[in-house]
A = this chain, B = another copy of it.
Amino acid sequence: MKALVYHGPGRKAWEDKPKPDIKVPTDAIVKILKTTICGTDLHIMKGDVPEVTDGRIIGHEGVGIVEETGGAVSSFKKGDHVLISCITSCGKCEYCKKGMYSHCIDGGWILGNLIDGTQAEYVRIPHADNSLYPIPGGADEEALVMLSDILPTGFECGVLNGQVKPGDTIAIVGAGPVGLAALLTAQFYSPAEIIMIDLDDNRLEVAKTFGATQLVNSGDGKAVEKVMTLTGGKGVDTVIEAVGVPSTFEICEAIVTAGGHIANIGVHGKSVTLHMETLWSKNISITTRLVDTVTTPMLFKTVQAQKLAPRKLITHHFRLDQVVEAYETFGNAAKEKALKVILTA
């Protein structure tokens, strides 16, 4: 089969690889129908994720058709259409039993990281019963690709951990795909105001069409002042960090109101300065989370009921064999006005 293979920092190729086989009875082999590229994949390609080694097939999102199942797989059979979760879950370890699939002792984020991933014609999915979700006939499969990672990430790490409530004033720092996923899913809880903060006016305008009520361009270094003005000096009930650098985290610290929440989504490469000299008495919570995809069934229902429109996140389409070109586009997201790209096999 063909697959996108990582060959060290800056080097990748769409090349031949052996089609995967069932290795243990809980595995399934899935033929990819549609996949996408994640911001994390760009980091991998730069060499920022040292766990990913030369020869690895990249990608951890997608929908497909079950090609083959191991002897212990009971929920799926050949021919079933399935959504692939970016998180592999054994369903029986201490962490899975608590709904912390991201920390599964035989899973977690391994696809396109520690094992071969989904930017390929076929992929082996370990613990298939717990790591795939059935797609009902007639569903919009392309839209569902957004449920592999980005929507549960925005929802679980940002909205749920941030405890967004009706009538709240919230802010989201970062209007990239994951920040926009938080924006879409925050509206499940009817906040009164959603302030979107980013450096890129184009992304802010997109955010407005997605439901943001206030836009703040932070390019002038005055994001904190602007948010405080917008909130009458009070700050926001919840702030969702969807960038992952020290300066954006410090914006969050400065605009959270007493009793509020900072919900981190961003993948951080460096430590940040936590201003405990002011925060110690402010009755706030700060949360971190690698997505568990424990809410995928709930999100599925909201998509089916048209309470959530994942398709909004899709800006570009390619054939799967155009994946290298798709990386070019996604890698120049600002210029290309790209959010999520769909690769169709």
How distant is the Cα of A322 from the Cα of B269 in the complex, in angstroms? 55
A233 to chain B, nearest CB (A): 13
Given the interface pairs A100-B258, A288-B280, the reply to whether A193 lies near B268 with Cβ below 8 Å is no
A249 at the interface (CB under 8 A from B): yes
Contact B268 A271 (CB under 8 A): no
Question: Does residue A167 face the partner (Cβ distance < 8 Å to B)?
Answer: yes
CA distance in complex: A244, B279 (Å) = 12
Q: Whole-angstrom distance between the alpha carbons of A96 and B26 in the complex?
A: 18
Residue in contact with A249 in the complex, picked from B94, B267, B276, CB distance below 8 Å:
B276
Whether A75 is near chain B, meaning CB under 8 Å from some CB there, is yes
Q: How many chain A residues have a CB neighbour from B under 8 Å?
A: 74
Asked if residues B283 and A289 are in contact (CB atoms below 8 Å), the reply is: yes
Copies assembled: 4
Q: Residue of B at shortest CB range from A166?
A: B188
Q: Are B269 and A277 in contact (CB under 8 A)?
A: yes
- Given A274-B273, A274-B274, A97-B297 contact (CB < 8 Å): yes
Cβ of A190 under 8 Å from chain B:
yes
Q: Which residues of B contact A98 (CB under 8 A)?
A: 259
> Which residues of chain A in 270-303 are interfacial with respect to chain B, using CB atoms and an 8 Å cutoff?
270-277, 279-290, 292, 294, 297-302
> Are B286 and A275 neighbours in the complex by a CB distance under 8 Å?
no
- Nearest residue (CB) in B for A267 is B280
A154: Cβ under 8 A from any B Cβ: no
Min CB distance, A208 to chain B, in Å? 16
- Asked whether A334 is an interface residue with its Cβ less than 8 Å from the other chain, the reply is no
Q: Does A307 contact B (CB under 8 A)?
A: yes
Task: Give the contacts of A123-144 with B (CB-CB under 8 A).
Answer: 129-130
- Please list the 7 inter-chain residue pairs (A to B) with the smallest Cβ-Cβ separation, ordered nearest first: A72-B72, A167-B301, A192-B305, A268-B276, A281-B290, A274-B274, A91-B91
Query: Can you show 19 pairs from A to B with CB atoms below 8 A apart?
Result: A25-B72, A71-B72, A74-B90, A92-B129, A95-B258, A100-B258, A102-B281, A166-B302, A167-B298, A190-B302, A193-B305, A244-B276, A266-B280, A267-B281, A269-B277, A271-B274, A274-B274, A282-B288, A283-B290
